[in-house]
Amino acid sequence: MLDISVLDELTAGACAAVTGRQDSASLLRHVDAANLFLVAADDERSSFRYHHLVRQLLRAELQARDRAREQKLQLLAAEWFETIGETRQAICYLLAARQVDRALALLQDRVAADFLRDPAPPGPLDLSMIDSCSLTDAPEQLLALAAHLLTWGDLARGGQYLDLVERAQSAIAPDSRLAARFATILSARHAVMGRVDKAVDEALAARAIRGKALLTDEWTATVPMILISAFEWLEDYPAVEREAAAALAAPELTEPVKLVAVAGARALAWFESGRLTEAADAAAAADGEARRLGFSQHFFAVDYLRALAGLALEQRDLNNAEQLTEHALSLSERGRPAFEFLVLLDRARIWAARGQVRDALATIEAARRVLATTGSVLLVRADELEALLRLSIGDLSTPVKLAAGLPAARHGLLLARVALTVGDHHAAHEQLQSLAPGELTPRQALVRQILLAAVAIGRGDPMTAGILGGVLESARHGRFLNTVVTTAPEVTSYLIEHSVQMRPDPFTRQLIAAALEVRAAIRPRSRSGASLPTRPGRWPNSGSGHRDLACPPARLPKGLLTWLSSTNAVLRLVTGRALAGACQRLAGRPMTQMVDAHLRE
């Protein structure tokens, strides 16, 4: 009993290796049947653990009697686990036996492979017995420790070991396997910190060394995985496809990498660019493979979860979108700041879709703090989202300031929205015309179409119906819903007010229901962002001769408040008499019935 107390888990094989007894299986069954000190670790009752306190007592007794024997037993356990391919367990026992060199040699051979294969990576190793200063002449071992800590999510300690490797870099041959591995790990560290340009530079350096030295190595084979994320963040979608193809062709990469991580990354890139049909298919496939392979709780799942959440938000399935986003957040907040930042922005979008603008703004600030010291190019995504939300609550100056740092297409689209908000339709049109459609992603092209329709509505263009018809055809084909009803309030209002003239099909019903939801979530605001005052039974006077409503806003059925608040304090209302009639006819009906009835009338 003393000898096997060194084992975390008691199996017949492990006990035989440590004690030398070949009757270990029958002894374990006997002890289990007698209910003596053991707890079954599996349903088959082939693996056991000592009761916690019993093991503590036995270990203390073994150490007191013969510490050298304890280390010998740990070494025997390590050798047995290594022979059966349980590398992680072998490393743990080698470290416990103070065989540091052997443990680190095994670690550097297996750290990348285990991360790519293990669906539930265990916690970090106990490195307390390792003196990092004693490894300054062993950069391979330092790098293995850094890789282990970084894959587990301990960026601080992993970075410390990388710094030590960097100091010893002069001793690393420029075109060696070690140089390629060092560049790969530096690239991975830069990527998870959101330092995208540095991540790309180091990844390409690793690839160049790999090609020159004709290396086949699981460490450097992960370069396409890093570049897929980096190029998606840089919105270079053709490069994403090139790197995905390279990853799928790499024989060193595992099935989970190809079917979960790469498939999920492609799904996310397709979603971000606006290719929703392809994104939905790829994300669903990645989800299915993750479940089959046991990787649904692995970091590899983050991208496909984000894609599925974004698709759910696009269909206004806010509860599902939020659930998927929280799952992605639970996986990304473990030492992967860039991914955590992006998922927090996803959460902010969902809260904004619920009408919780101030909560969404607070979440954006929380996201910024995650990457506060990195200078990441990803921070412009927070700037753009904040600008749109502040514009929605009547703040003009902040969006204009934030627009200055955005890439050209995002900059132009945001300034067009600002111009629309203040009623400068000419300036909005000029901004939109300056954007070459061929240089926009499908998503950006649709947003441009929607904003041009908003310009036409604002100008009273007689071609408005045709322009909006083109928008709806693009949206129908591309499976867009939320984008149509949240991009421009003018379009949302027009859809509701002209819904009786629209073709009553499933897409139209979804669209009008979504528009009504969005309108119901909007609170009328003044230019300063404060809520506009109201009096019982009356709307605030807009100065445009609108008549008082026949019933107070509080009594209107949810979704039928067709107001439009803009930052120049113009509140556009449908006529009170028509809305009151709709109130009387539709009060108390569910949203879908309200839409169907409204379309029929």
Full-model pTM: 0.80
Residue 105 falls inside a structural domain: no
Domain boundary among 237, 253, 269: 253
Q: Does one domain contain both 91 and 163?
A: no
Q: What is the pLDDT of residues 347-372, one digit of tens each?
A: 999 999 999 999 999 999 999 999 99
Same domain? 148 vs 77: no
Strand (E) or helix (H) holding 507? helix 506-521
Rounded Cα–Cα distance for residues 13 and 573 (Å): 78
**Domain limit, last residue, from 77, 98, 119:** 98
* Cα 49 to Cα 61: distance, rounded to the nearest angstrom: 18
d(CA 28, CA 47): 9
Task: Mark whether 275 and 352 lie in a shared domain.
Answer: yes
- DSSP strand E in 454-498: where? none
CATH of the domain at 277: 1.25.40.10
Please give the Cα distance from 460 to 41 (Å, whole number). 73
Are 248 and 273 in the same domain? no
CATH number of the domain within which 225 lies: 1.25.40
Q: What is the DSSP string of 199-258?
A: HHHHHHHHHHHHHHHT---HHHHTHHHHHHHHHHHTT-HHHHHHHHHHHHH-TTS-HHII
Domain end residue (candidates: 74, 98, 122): 98
Q: How far apart are CA 427 and CA 436, in angstroms?
A: 16
Give yes or no: residues 265 and 217 share one domain.
no
**244 and 276: one domain?**
no
DSSP 262: I
Q: Which of 165, 116, 176, 115 is nearest to 143 (CA)?
A: 165
Q: Is residue 546 assigned to a domain?
A: no
Radius of gyration for the alpha carbons in the chain, expressed in angstroms and rounded: 30
Between the alpha carbon of residue 34 and those of residues 37, 42, 248, 402, the distances in Å are 9, 18, 53, 71
Question: Quick check: 396 and 422 in contact, CB under 8 A?
Answer: yes
Mean pLDDT in consecutive groups of 10 residues from the start of the chain, 601 residues? 82 86 78 73 78 85 86 89 84 86 83 78 72 77 87 86 84 87 94 96 94 83 94 96 95 93 97 97 98 94 98 97 97 92 98 94 97 94 97 92 94 96 94 93 97 96 93 94 95 92 87 91 48 32 33 35 32 34 43 46 48
- For residue 46, the enclosing domain spans 1-98
The total domain count for the chain is: 3
Same structural domain, 12 and 45: yes
Phi–psi pair at 461, nearest 5 degrees: -65, 130
Residues 272 and 339 in one domain: yes
The pLDDT tens digits for 205-260 are 999 998 888 878 788 888 999 999 999 999 999 999 999 999 999 998 999 999 99
For residue 395, being part of any structural domain is answered with no
Query: Looking at the structure, do residues 191 and 292 belong to the same domain, yes or no?
Result: no
The residue whose two tokens read 């921070």 is: 379
Same domain, 263 and 351: yes
Q: Are residues 231 and 292 in the same domain?
A: no
